[in-house]
Structure 1
């Protein structure tokens, strides 16, 4: 198993807490005006202008099959390097919680239900679990 020590950004999607490696995140912004893109995949909510760059906004609830509970209030903007075609992308999330340091002992391998590799593992924290997702895999599908 590869080393998984590092910092992750925790965020809320519906009732669950998820996280991504902080290395992939460039900024966190409030939800602004989204422009709908005709014939876009179901998980693409639209595009918005972030610092002069057209940024695709993805709803990870659609990607992971999560119900629509919660009010999307924040956008996690990812480094364009992680997206296959080098375009800017952001995820619409209900809330951004915190950046936390994690170690190998806190991470269990990905659940068997993860067929596409988008889930890196499950982080055990206190008496709860945080699902660690890999945005590179999500954006390569």
Structure 2
């Protein structure tokens, strides 16, 4: 599913630092607790390590490093993404503080991200009294 066709539907909300982010649920295969991570020498700074997830080596990425979020808190959960969104089709998961909920969004709730040249921020979702930053992991991992 392309980012352009993901303008409405369900998103998975999660916490990074003090902010709420979301991704299209279509990209998510599962959510797991953080397991034992094995450090990988000379890996990019955003790679926390790898873990064995049902017999498959899964790279665990810290999206706080990717998005420049200044928070040293340790992530507790891993959002595992469909390998088809990663450019080399390897298994990857994001280390997040908490996974909140799956919500339905409509086009009138979405504002396109102003001034975002990279394209990894799909938009900002207006929900209740808060804003949720909608990120596109397919773009993040095509650039990585």
Shift in Å, 1:115: 1.9
Q: Which residue of 2 aligns with 1:47?
A: 50
Q: Which residue of 2 aligns with 1:136?
A: 138
Q: Which residue of 2 aligns with 1:122?
A: 124
Q: Structure 1: where are the runs of 5+ without partners?
A: none
Report if the CA contact (8 A) 1:61-1:67 is conserved. Answer: yes
User: TM (normalized to structure 2)?
Assistant: 0.94
Among candidates 73, 84, 87, match of residue 87 of structure 2 = 84
**Do the aligned partners of residues 49 and 135 (structure 1) sit closer, same or farther apart at CA in structure 2, a change above 3 Å counting?**
same
How far does the alpha carbon of each residue in 1:99-118 deviate from its partner, in whole angstroms, 9 at most, with x for none? 00000000001121x22100
Report if the CA contact (8 A) 2:60-2:95 is conserved. Answer: yes
How far does the alpha carbon of each residue in 1:87-141 deviate from its partner, in whole angstroms, 9 at most, with x for none? 00000000000000000000001121x2210000000001110000000111011
Q: Which residue of 1 aligns with 2:18?
A: 15
Task: Return the alpha-carbon distance in structure 1 between the equivalents of residues 6 and 12 of structure 2.
Answer: 17
Report if the CA contact (8 A) 1:77-1:89 is conserved. Answer: yes
Report if the CA contact (8 A) 1:11-1:96 is conserved. Answer: yes
User: TM (normalized to structure 1)?
Assistant: 0.96
Q: Does 1:61 align with 2:82?
A: no
| Matched residues, number | 140
